[in-house]
């Protein structure tokens, strides 16, 4: 028997142990990327919806039309229950040309990764506020 041969035979399960140690970390990183992507996508969508709603209000639309525009431009899962228009100022009767119109939209993102819902608040609330001058 060659001197180094015994050394290599004793390391048969090394790669299996390395996989067992690194696989949970790799899976955690992968799911973190997926959750971050879902949150980023939702934030981009509600920012776009708030911008479209503010634009509709800036050109003279009513509150009901602004809310309909926001909901139409927010194709998110469970948007009917998790999407909230938290601020719409000034009121429809007080809007005059030159005043700023503020629209704030909030959306509750449900986290699906079991570990992250323990670390972060679940649902994770996103808010976007847009202000435009009324024409």
Structural domain boundaries of the chain?
14-133
pLDDT of residue 9: 61
> Which H or E run includes 118?
helix 116-119
pLDDT of residue 99: 95
Residue 4 has pLDDT above 70, yes or no: no
Residue 103 CA to residue 125 CA, distance in Å, equals 16
Quote the pTM value: 0.84
Per-residue burial over 104-124, b = 16 or more CB atoms within 10 Å of its CB, e = otherwise: bbbbbbebebeebeeeeeeeb
Name the residue with higher pLDDT: 120 or 8.
120
Expressed in percent and rounded to 5, the helix, strand and coil fractions of the chain are: 55, 20, 25
């Amino acid at each position: 028997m060659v001197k180094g041969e015994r050394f290599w035979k004793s390391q048969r399960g090394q790669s299996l142990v390395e996989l067992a140690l690194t696989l949970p970390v790799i899976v955690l990183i992968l799911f973190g990327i997926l959750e971050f992507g879902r949150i980023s996508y939702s934030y981009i969508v509600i920012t776009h919806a708030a911008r479209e709603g503010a634009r509709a209000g800036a050109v003279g639309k009513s509150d009901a039309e602004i809310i309909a525009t926001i909901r139409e431009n927010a194709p998110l899962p469970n948007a009917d229950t998790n999407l909230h228009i938290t601020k719409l100022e000034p009121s429809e009767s007080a809007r005059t040309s030159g005043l700023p119109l503020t629209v704030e939209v909030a959306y509750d993102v449900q986290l699906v990764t079991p570990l992250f819902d323990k670390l972060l608040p679940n649902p994770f609330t996103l808010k976007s506020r847009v202000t435009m001058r009324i024409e």
